[in-house]
Structures are given as C-alpha cells and as structure tokens.
C-alpha cells in the first residue's frame, strides 16, 4: 500500500511539473540600431525618430537596454559623447490613413504627453537594470481596432570632445553655448537643443563621426491570465500640481 501511494504521488508530481513546463513562455530578444546621428566636437543632437524598428504582435516587454555605439558597433565612452537622455514613446496611427501620430502615454500624472514615455534614461543607462521578473511585463501590441502601433525614439546627446568645460557642457550651462536665453535662465534643456554648439578649445581639431543608439528588447508572447501588466508612472520633482494641459503649469521637466 505504501509503495503504491509513493508511486501515485510521484506520478502526480511529474504530471504537475509537466503542466508547468508546458506553460513556460520563451523569452525572445532582438537588437536594433537607431538612425544615424552625426556629431562634431561640441555639437548637440536632440532628435525624434518615428517608426523605429521594434518587435510586433501582442507581447509583454520584459526589458529594454540601450547602448551608444560608433559605426563599428563599439561602445562610446560618456566622456566623448554624453548621453543626456533618451525616451521611447508609443503611438498609434489609423490603418490606411495619415501618418499623424496619436501618442499613447504611460499612466503617469504629468500634463499632456510630458514625460509620457514607456522607457527612458540618461547617462546612467549602462548600469540600470530594467528586467521585469515573472509574472510581470509591459503589455503592448494590442491597439484599438483600426489603428496600428508604432514607436518613437528621442535621443539627446552632446559631443564633448575638445570642449572648454566638459561638466558645464553636459549640464547645459547657457554661457557655454551659442544661445541667449533671458529671464534668469542660466542652464537647462533650452540651452542645448538640437543643432546648438558648446564652446570648443581654440585650435582643437576633431572630425565629425557617426553615433547610433543600439537597443535590445526582450519580450514574451502575451497570454491573458498568465502575466500581470505593469503600469508605468513617471513623476517630476518640478511638478506644480496645476493642470491646464500646457507646458507652463504642472510638470516643468
């Protein structure tokens, strides 16, 4: 009787283990490159790239890892090209219609689409883990009927080769850039926009070079009831608490 019970118990364990294994979901991965960014010493790029390569279908994102690289695929050191920030935004367009982007923001509380990205980071990108353990994932690829989902990648980078003040350029001090901002605005994004130039040491010679953002996405096929959808919230320390859907109130970034 004891042996029969042991065998039955073992059989039950094997059946359960087999059932669990059959429900395991394969983790998929793909690596892509952003469009080319051309930078000269002291120059700034702050560009937005629509319809970038991205996994398709109803899936759950497990992680998103970013690495700035050169045209040979070698990682670029931050002391040469400072990755100020990048942001990955989700949007939809009507099928068979215009390419007008309707952004699908995250669940954060900022006004409009400010800080509405699903992923984003800055110079700390290389050492920031983003992997979501089971059963969690960010559910995407299930837009409303009649719409197609796409992704926009924003990249803000500063080439600091040969500049007179590396830290000042990275922190966008206005006095170091070829811009004039009044009203007591001493530094910030307004002084290091796309095409702006940080001051370079007299006589410094440096070639233009191509830079890319290499991004690796890991995901699983979505199965209702087997994954818990993660909601993304981004807060802003400058948030005034006011809301009128303009950039002058609420989150100031």
Residues 76-135 pLDDT 10s = 999 999 999 999 999 999 998 777 889 999 998 888 888 889 999 988 888 788 999 999
Query: For residue 189, how far is the Cα from the chain centroid?
Result: 18
User: Does residue 9 sit within a domain?
Assistant: no
**Alpha carbon distance 131, 79 (integer Å):** 27
The length of the chain is 253
Confidence bin at 2 (pLDDT 50/70/90): very low
Tally of CB atoms within 10 A around 201? 12
Among the listed residues 27, 21, 52, the one whose alpha carbon sits nearest the alpha carbon of residue 137 = 27
CATH number at residue 143: 2.60.120
- Does the residue 194 lie in any domain? no
The verdict on residue 189 lying in a domain is no
Residue 64 lies in a domain: yes
Residue 132 lies in a domain: yes
pTM of the model: 0.84
- Domain membership of residue 180 (yes or no) is no
Distance separating alpha carbons of residues 217 and 202, to the nearest angstrom: 42
Domain count, the chain: 1
Q: Is residue 49 part of a domain?
A: yes
The tens digit of pLDDT for each residue in 221-251 reads 999 999 999 999 988 887 888 877 666 677 8
The pLDDT score that the predictor gives to residue 5 is: 43
Q: Is residue 173 part of a domain?
A: no
Note down the domain range covering 89.
27-161+206-229
Measured CA to CA, the distance from residue 52 to residue 13 in angstroms comes to 46
């Amino acid at each position: 009787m004891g042996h029969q019970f042991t065998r039955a118990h073992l059989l039950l364990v094997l059946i359960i283990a087999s059932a669990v294994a059959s429900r395991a979901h394969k983790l998929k991965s793909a690596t892509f490159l952003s469009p080319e960014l051309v930078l000269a010493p002291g120059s700034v790029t702050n560009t937005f790239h629509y319809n970038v390569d991205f996994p398709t279908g109803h899936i759950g994102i497990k992680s998103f890892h970013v690495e700035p690289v050169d045209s040979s695929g070698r990682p670029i050191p931050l002391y040469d090209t400072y990755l100020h920030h990048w942001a990955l935004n989700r949007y939809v367009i009507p099928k068979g219609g215009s390419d007008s982007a309707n952004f699908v923001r995250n669940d954060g509380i900022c006004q409009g689409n400010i800080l509405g990205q699903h992923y984003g980071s800055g110079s700390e990108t290389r050492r920031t883990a983003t992997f979501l353990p089971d059963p969690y994932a960010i559910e995407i690829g299930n837009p409303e009927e009649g719409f197609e989902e796409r992704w926009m990648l924003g990249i803000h980078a500063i080439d600091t080769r040969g500049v007179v003040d590396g830290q000042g350029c990275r922190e966008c001090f206005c006095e170091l850039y070829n811009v004039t901002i009044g009203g007591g605005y001493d530094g910030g994004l307004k002084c290091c926009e796309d095409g702006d130039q940080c001051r370079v040491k007299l006589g410094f010679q440096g070639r233009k070079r191509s830079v890319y953002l290499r991004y690796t996405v890991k995901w699983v096929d979505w199965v209702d009831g087997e994954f818990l959808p993660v909601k993304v919230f981004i807060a802003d320390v400058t948030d005034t608490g006011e809301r009128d859907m303009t950039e002058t109130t609420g989150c100031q970034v």
